[in-house]
Amino acid sequence: MNDTVNRLIEVLKNIKDELESVGWYPVNAESTKWWGGAETPDEVVITAILVQQTRWDVVHEVLNRLRKLGLNTLEGIANADPNYLAEVIKGVNYRFTKAQRLVKLARNITMIGGLERLRLRGDVRDFLLNQEGVGRETADSIMLFALNIPTLPISQYTKRVLSRVLGVNPGDDYDSWKETLEGLIPRDLYTYKLVHASVVTIGKKYCLTDNPLCDECPLRGVCLHANSRK
Ligand code: SF4
């Protein structure tokens, strides 16, 4: 298994162009770039809430609107009126609930001294999980991309792509997946960012639920599922 994981990581490091063509490649460990054009830690937190049950292209448009209004920072959101924010984020699903939650989250983070302070706390994940609207995948995404803490978010793409590539399937439970994959993939900030960015890209473009496009997929050489079909 370790060999397959190491080969997978090597392949991922070599498909930069493929990932970039979809719009996102983690250039280095410290990079806080995320899906939807998010560039800063604050934007990662904001878009992590906005994207729930919403397409990334919609979030991208909304993020540009927030930038023009100076609402792309947690401080800006913390001082905003939730009803006004709900108008600004039009297009995002459940915008009234999300506006309320975003304002509360931004206020709670600014109250403890901002993201830098949050990063230094021993209870970062619990702090995030105690916020309304922040589930495990959102908390782990914020930790990895906004706070640069090596923790692996488990998305539907992670499960689909890595169950096929590595032949692992720890069931439906989020924590079982996380424990299994973090046990297999070396805990390293850049590697975790690379794995997450890659599986989302591959999962959207090639590793479709019913008919995976293995012949075109850059992972076909290391993928157990693809090789079992030969
Ligand atoms: S080779 Fe096929 S099964 Fe494997 S990751 Fe790519 S699309 Fe999915």
Question: Residues of the chain with pLDDT > 90: what percent?
Answer: 82
**Residue 168 confidence (pLDDT) above 80:** yes
Q: What is the pLDDT of residue 198?
A: 92
Give 14-49 pLDDT, tens digit per residue: 988 888 887 678 888 988 888 778 899 999 999 999
Which residue segment(s) compose the domain that 128 sits in?
32-145
CA distances (Å), 221 to each of 33, 114, 157, 169, in order?
Answer: 28, 44, 19, 20
Per residue in 67-120, pLDDT tens?
Answer: 999 999 999 999 999 999 999 999 999 999 999 999 999 999 999 999 999 999
> pLDDT for 191-221, tens place per residue?
999 999 999 999 989 999 999 999 999 999 9
CB 155 within 8 A of CB 132: no
What residues are in contact with ligand 1 under a 6 Å CB criterion?
A: 161, 164-165, 202, 206-207, 212-214, 217, 219-220, 223, 225-226
CB 36 within 8 A of CB 51: yes
Q: What is the CATH number of the domain that holds 55?
A: 1.10.340.30
Number of structural domains in the chain:
2
Look at ligand 1, atom 8, and give the residue with the nearest C-alpha. Answer: 207
Contacts of residue 223, defined as CB under 8 A and 6 or more positions apart, other chains included, come to 164, 165, 214, 217
pTM of the model: 0.94
Please check whether residues 107 and 131 belong to one and the same domain.
yes
pLDDT the model gives residue 33: 83
Last residue of a domain, one of 91, 113, 145: 145
In ligand 1, which atom is closest to the CA atom of 225? 3
State which ligand 1 atom lies nearest to the alpha carbon of 218: 6
Which of 89, 110, 145 terminates a domain? The answer is 145
